[in-house]
Amino acid sequence: MNKPFIIGIAGGSGSGKTFFLKCFLEHFTEAEVCLVSQDDYYIPVAHNMTKEENRLYNFDLPATIDHAHFEDDIEKLINGEVILKKEYTFNNPEAIPKILEIKPAPIMIVEGLFILHFKKIAASLDLKIFIEADDDIALQRRLKRDLIERGYSHDDVMYKWINHVVPAYQEYLLPYKDECDQVITNNSHVADDIICITESISKQLREKVLS
């Protein structure tokens, strides 16, 4: 198997990275693309925490990621191996984690907040995409997600945003913006805008990698 074409997609919390990925993946079959998400490599700690400890714990640091395991799984996929990985459920006690089976494919997407900060991962990327959004829009998206999907209070979300999310973005992601091949500003609430962008990128990839 030839080395896959590796795309790194980095973006801060609330940048709309998840929606971008969803649109992007719809242009390919499962055999053509695989996805490795940094979120599934959090070092599990939350099950031992009280609610207050969880509120204060900073998940927005590179040290919270098992980056050695993350790098090892990327290497295995590059070498044509299938990997099995337990899904990370973001401290939700009601969620039953799935075992993810990730199969190698001609196009590999690696996504996450710290993928450009982890030097070995960054060096493996053939295309780097940076997704950003204005601060007020990103915060509203974060509030909506954490209040509804993850059961945090408004005060908890704001505490993490001010003390963890914004400082981590400024230190571990923003400095790499100028190194990226494409910067996408995702302030739109119109799905068609992102669909058009992903369609353009996927067309180029289809011609370059899959033809």
Q: Are 12 and 100 in contact (CB under 8 A)?
A: no
Q: Which residues of 104-137 are buried (b: 16+ CB within 10 A; e: fewer)?
A: bbbbbbbbbbbbbbbeebbebbbbbbbbbbeeeb
pLDDT band at 208; cut points 50, 70, 90: confident
Q: Which residues of 63-95 are buried (b: 16+ CB within 10 A; e: fewer)?
A: ebbbbeebbebbeebeeeeebebeebbebeeee
Q: Are 8 and 54 in contact (CB under 8 A)?
A: no
| Res 93: pLDDT | 61
| Res 133: pLDDT | 94
pTM of the model: 0.90
Q: Which tokens sit at 68?
A: 């050695």
| Res 151: pLDDT | 73
Residue type, 70: F
| Tens-digit pLDDT profile for residues 170-196 | 999 999 999 999 999 999 877 788 888
pLDDT band at 53; cut points 50, 70, 90: confident
Residue 82 clears pLDDT 70, i.e. is over it: yes
Rounded Cα gap, residues 81 and 101, in angstroms? 11
| Tens-digit pLDDT profile for residues 91-115 | 666 678 889 999 999 999 999 999 9
The domains of the chain, with CATH numbers, are 5-210 (3.40.50.300)
Q: Are 4 and 77 in contact (CB under 8 A)?
A: yes
Average pLDDT over residues 24-51: 87
- Phi/psi at 178 (5° precision): -70, -15
Is 181 strand, coil or helix? Answer: coil
